[in-house]
Amino acid sequence: MELTATLLELNLHCAKDLKNVNLFTKMNVYAVVSFIGKCCTTQKSPVDKKCGACPNWNYAMMMPINEAIARRDHHKLVIRLKSDRMFGDKEIGTVQVLIRDLLDHNESNGKVEFQNLSCSVRLPNGKIKGVLNFSYKFGDTFTIPAVPVSAHPPPPSQGMDKSASPPPAGYPPMQQALFIEERVGNADWAGVEDGLDCAF
């Protein structure tokens, strides 16, 4: 079947006053961005190795979303900030925003090129420490043609968990992301609190 997508464009600019989770050394901070949590599309920023608790990235990324599903299932944009370390990376904090709020805010402001947001960073213990600055815009809505049936793998064998099956082989990356989005619905948001961190 055909899949309808809207392209979400993000520019991760910088963060300020983050908690230093390293005991003796300056942090090397990067961001992991997703909008279905651990179950779907995830992208990672470069590691900032110069600015410690005030990293600068100015890094652009694009992620396809299905607007109707995002509104219906209350999907969130989740940005996890982490410290790159030799013996295991450590999470600094998380920012999360409802995709629905981004869409509504975008429409109410006349769909300008990019809109800037400053969001509080929530620590793993639930406290607030630091601010993340990013901008975003939504591109045009488009339709991705269906892949021929012959490109799909055979159905899962009896007894397998169909909800955990991978996207069909032969789908390009953007279609795979939307396929998982439709299959997952309300994803398992492990480690993400219910409170939102950005005010519009």
44-93 tens-digit pLDDT: 999 999 999 999 999 999 988 888 888 887 888 999 999 999 889 999 99
Q: How many CA atoms lie within 13 A of 190 on its CB side?
A: 2
Q: Are 192 and 98 in contact (CB under 8 A)?
A: no
112-161 tens-digit pLDDT: 678 899 999 999 999 999 999 999 998 877 786 665 555 555 565 554 44
Contacts of 79 (CB under 8 A, 6+ apart): 12, 31, 32, 33, 94, 95, 96, 119, 132, 134
Angle at 63 between CA 57 and CA 65, to 5 degrees: 145
Q: Assess whether pLDDT exceeds 70 at residue 9.
A: yes
Gyration radius (Cα) of the chain, Å: 18
For residue 6, the SS3 value is strand
Q: Assess whether pLDDT exceeds 60 at residue 190.
A: no
Mean pLDDT, the chain, integer: 77
> Which of the pair, 121 or 4, is modelled with greater confidence?
121
Percent of the chain with pLDDT over 70: 66
Domains of the chain: 3-184 (2.60.40.150)
